[in-house]
Copies of this chain bind each other. A is one copy, B any other.
């Protein structure tokens, strides 16, 4: 068995799964509306460590990762379900209550209703499955597959912060001062719900994905789905100065492959690029016709950029 991406391709092909393959599945709701649904599993000691976070941050993040998927479709989040497998030792504390406090605090910001879920015991690890549903005008969800040759490639916010935060946590358990911003990006990411919706409603983005696996992997997903290639300029990638100061030459790799920034990566027709001028958005490159080939331009040098983001397998 290969990576999870290859396996998903395999079952998609084997069983004719047409709805699988974007940040969310799209399902018809009524004459005017489509639903988008997504599920994300977070596993203790794979996706998080209890000693590095708080229950409130973890509840926030569980919902945030799903809202980021809904944002990437340009949809409005509506309701959610939450499924937990809880070790008995954790159940005996207030952990789950505080986890729900964190979850609810973010949910309230977007008026998301918790409609159901499940609570099971777990032999050892805390496991979360976060399910969320959004709505978008019928036929109008923003897909990975809509990128066109000549589109500008844009990214919101800055990249590498979540991976930098993880590095710092790995190094010293978060005790060091001065890097709380990066640790915050790792532990309490903010989904770009309003931006995703703006890009959708105003038909700005031709294609979109959220950066969960890492820029290199997620740009590959867009190129593969759209049958196009891309070139991005190294010096245009928005990396926090603080990361460069702390991690030096490693910064570029954190920004390209680190993942979990939960920013939006999208493509825009050249004539519409001015529409994002007032938003926290950076143009980093251009869509090319070279199917599934991504080139990183660094001064006079060009190198092929592989998908090197996070893989479970």
Contact = CB atoms under 8 A, between A and B. Distances in A.
Please state the number of chain copies in the assembly.
Answer: 2
A120 interface: yes
A204 interface: no
Contacts of A224: none
A84 interface: yes
A88 interface: yes
A37 B81 contact: yes
Interface in A28-62: 29-31, 37-47
A298 to B, nearest CB: 33
A312 B37 contact: no
B41 A84 contact: yes
Interface hub of A81, A115, A124, A131 (most chain B Cβ within 10 A):
A115
A116 B47 contact: no
A10 to B, nearest CB: 8
Given A91-B313, A115-B27, A129 B41 contact: yes
A17 interface: yes
A81 B88 CA distance: 27
A27 B79 contact: yes
Nearest to A21: B116
A17 B100 CA distance: 12
Contacts of A30: 29-31
Contacts of A88: 313
A172 to B, nearest CB: 22
B7 A96 contact: yes
B25 A115 contact: yes
Given A29-B29, A31-B30, A313-B91, A120 B81 contact: no
Contact of A85 (B14, B29, B43, B84): B43
A4 interface: yes
Interface hub of A47, A79, A96, A131 (most chain B Cβ within 10 A):
A131
A116 B38 contact: yes
5 contacts: A4-B119, A29-B30, A40-B118, A43-B123, A91-B313
